[in-house]
């Protein structure tokens, strides 16, 4: 019985689409417009809604309408092609042409493994760009009022910790002075909850800092559970151990670092040289973006016949 119902419904649908196709052909042959059809059928409001939804008016002139297109081959008839009968918005005026501002807001996220130099380089980079600098680890401790290590102990997995800690990143990005800023991310800054926030941030530029494992080992710093630095002198055996750990981190986090826009190698660079190198890289990216935008504007103008 159910199969028979389905067969009947399918037959009714085919008959409806066949009648709809014939009606559509007749209307096009007579030269009627969709809003007139709706008006005669007492649905003038629907005609206006359809026209406004596509940026025009129900009484737009024929020169601003899309030409009728052939019926689709999917059997959809008028239903599949109604969108082509609705009024089109007029060309944009000359004063509405897109433009490039002299100053482009940018939020720079510095990523990299631990002790690669994100905090030091990021602070100097912010000075060069004359913008604010945020160390996300410090902001997380301020947000929760708890040292990082003690905060991590509250969560069962690193993933759950990142989801919670990403609230601090959202809070930083909601500040008025964060429109132009440099933010130093933790090693997992492009993973989990952190990445969801970074990926949804407007004007975000992600830069990964890379360096040789041996150089990173020289900058390694230890902290206690209250985030206070500890002075330690490593033995040769400990150096070998931490060197393996650094290489392991480079491999592990390297997969997420591929999400960055650019990678800057700061091997054998001082902090000042590294920050200048990052700035030069950003300027090159910015100039390329401006060139692409200008080319897009020129293409848009030529296609829309916009006066100069």
In a domain, 299, yes or no: no
Q: Which DSSP helix (H) or strand (E) runs through 243?
A: helix 236-257
Rounded CA-CA distance 233/241 in Å is 14
pLDDT value of position 297: 67
Supply the DSSP symbol for 145: T
Cβ contacts of 45 within 8 Å, gap of 6 or more: none
In this structure, the answer to whether residues 196 and 247 fall within a common structural domain is yes
pLDDT per residue over 15-38, tens digit each? 444 444 444 444 444 444 444 433
pLDDT per residue over 113-145, tens digit each? 999 999 999 999 999 999 999 999 999 999 999
In this structure, the answer to whether residues 129 and 228 fall within a common structural domain is yes
CA torsion angle 51 53 56 60 (round to 10): 0
Q: What is the CATH number of the domain that holds 170?
A: 3.40.50.300
CA Rg value for the chain: 30
Q: Which domain holds residue 15?
A: 2-90
Rounded CA-CA distance 104/76 in Å is 47
In this structure, the answer to whether residues 61 and 31 fall within a common structural domain is yes
Residue 50 in tokens? 């359809």
Supply the DSSP symbol for 252: H
- Indicate yes or no: pTM above 0.85: no
Looking from the CA of 198 toward its CB, the CA atoms found within 13 Å total 29
In a domain, 154, yes or no: yes
In a domain, 301, yes or no: no
**Structural domain ending residue among the three candidates 47, 63, 90:** 90
In a domain, 83, yes or no: yes
Cβ burial 106-116 (10 Å sphere, 16+ → b, else e)? bbbbbbbbbbb
In this structure, the answer to whether residues 26 and 120 fall within a common structural domain is no
In a domain, 219, yes or no: yes
Helix extents (H) in 34-95: 34-40, 44-53, 77-81
Query: Does pLDDT of 307 surpass 80?
Result: no
C-alpha 117: how far from chain center: 26
């Amino acid at each position: 019985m159910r199969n028979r119902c389905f067969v009947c419904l399918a037959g009714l649908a085919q008959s409806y689409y066949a009648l709809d196709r014939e009606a559509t052909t007749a209307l096009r042959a007579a030269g009627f417009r969709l809003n007139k059809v709706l008006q005669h059928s007492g649905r003038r409001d629907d005609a206006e809604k359809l026209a406004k939804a596509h940026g025009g008016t129900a009484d737009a002139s024929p020169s601003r309408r899309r030409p009728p297109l052939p019926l689709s081959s999917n059997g959809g008839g008028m239903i599949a092609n109604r969108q082509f009968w609705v009024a089109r918005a007029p060309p944009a005026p000359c004063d509405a042409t897109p433009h490039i501002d002299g100053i482009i807001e940018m939020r720079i996220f510095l990523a990299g493994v631990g002790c690669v130099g994100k905090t030091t380089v990021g602070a100097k980079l912010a000075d060069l760009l004359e913008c604010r600098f945020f160390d996300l680890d410090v902001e997380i401790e301020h947000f929760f009022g708890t040292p990082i290590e003690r905060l991590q102990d509250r969560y069962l997995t690193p993933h759950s910790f990142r989801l919670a800690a990403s609230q601090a990143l959202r809070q930083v990005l909601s500040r008025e002075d964060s429109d132009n800023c440099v933010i130093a991310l933790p090693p997992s800054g492009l993973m989990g909850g952190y990445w969801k926030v970074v990926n949804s941030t407007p004007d975000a530029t992600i830069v990964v800092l890379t360096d040789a494992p041996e150089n990173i080992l020289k900058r390694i710093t230890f902290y206690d559970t209250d985030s206070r630095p500890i002075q330690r002198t490593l033995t040769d055996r400990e150096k070998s151990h931490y060197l393996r750990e650094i290489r392991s981190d480079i491999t592990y986090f390297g997969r997420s670092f591929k999400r960055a826009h650019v990678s800057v190698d700061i091997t054998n660079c001082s902090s000042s040289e590294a920050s200048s190198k990052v700035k030069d890289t950003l300027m090159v990216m910015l100039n390329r973006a401006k060139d692409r935008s200008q080319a897009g504007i020129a293409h848009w103008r030529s296609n829309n016949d916009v006066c100069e």
